[in-house]
Amino acid sequence: MNYNKYLDVNPEVAAAVAAGKPVVALESTIISHGMPYPQNVETALNVEKVIRENGAVPATIAILGGRLKAGLTAEEIEYLGKTGQAVTKASRRDLPVLVAKKMDGATTVTTTMMIAHMAGIQIFATGGIGGVHRGAETTMDISADLEELANTPVMVICAGAKSILDLGLTLEYLETHGVPVIGYGTKELPAFYTRRSGFGVDYELDSPEELAETFHVQRELGIKGGMLVTNPIPEQYAMDFDVINKAIDEAIADSVRDGIHGKETTPYLLAKVKELTGGDSLNSNIQLVYNNAKLAARTAAALCRL
């Protein structure tokens, strides 16, 4: 495969892609910005283990020393975890500067999709996607994740949009851009920490094989863009709908008071919600990532059989 000259693909990942074997991309913002050390490193390594146990090769993605990396070593994951929020949270607009200046960057959903596509990886597991922030009608704060889903042919498996967002407007934006929103075993959009949101998805599919077949057909039809699969957090780890929403409302009020905006918003709100829920949200976050990794690996394996 003729890779981008700024891209380094881990040899195991490159061999799997070349042989048509299943590979699952993973983001690195969840390591640097999504969780505290050492849980972030432990979770990242366990997610890779879950993917291997379910028949696929993991490819954690990041920017290190200005190189786009598809597939990190355990030492590189440890470095990102320890460095934490000192690493740039890298969205699409950050890539040229980070690469040119040979800097480090932790990839968001957007940049993970971009680099995965460059490396020939079609399936990506994450926690939750970004979306339209509450109050976006005045702030215009809309995550680049949504635009990337409209343009880059990667299936993103997540636990829904983060419940700190305006979920109704997020779904409207995805519909406008022609992105299919699939509920895995559910007709309702899961909201990250909780299994319900009050908003419906476009279609419900019930097996990795159905997911793979649908994505395969989308590509065969020549329809550009990705596909969003929303996989509800397992029941035993889900948080109470009212408890989590009360914490989110408090966190949003605090963010307004503290003048938080732009790409600092999500890490700030997630940290506040963790504080307000006594750490319960962190455990839920970890479990839903494992759940998404398992489904992604099985879907990647099914896609390779088509």
Q: Which residues pair with 58 in a beta bridge?
A: 24
Q: Which amino acid is at 266?
A: T
Say how far apart CA 193 and CA 239 lie, in whole Å.
Answer: 6
Residue 27 annotated to the active site: yes
Residue 56 tokens, joined: 């696929």
Question: How many Cβ atoms sit within 10 Å of the Cβ of residue 293?
Answer: 26
Residue 162 annotated to the active site: yes
Length reported for the chain: 306
- Phi/psi of residue 73, nearest 5 degrees: -85, 165
Residues 6 or more apart in contact with residue 53 via CB below 8 angstroms: 297
- For residue 265, CA distances in Å to 156, 167, 241, 254 come to 22, 16, 21, 11
Question: In a 10 Å sphere around its CB, with 0-12 CB exposed, 13-18 middle and 19+ buried, how is residue 38 labelled?
Answer: exposed
Whether 3 and 9 have beta carbons less than 8 Å apart is answered as yes
- Active-site pick, 27, 48, 76, 78: 27
Residues 6 or more apart in contact with residue 265 via CB below 8 angstroms: 133, 141, 255
- Active-site pick, 69, 78, 148, 162: 162
- Which residues are designated catalytic? 27, 162
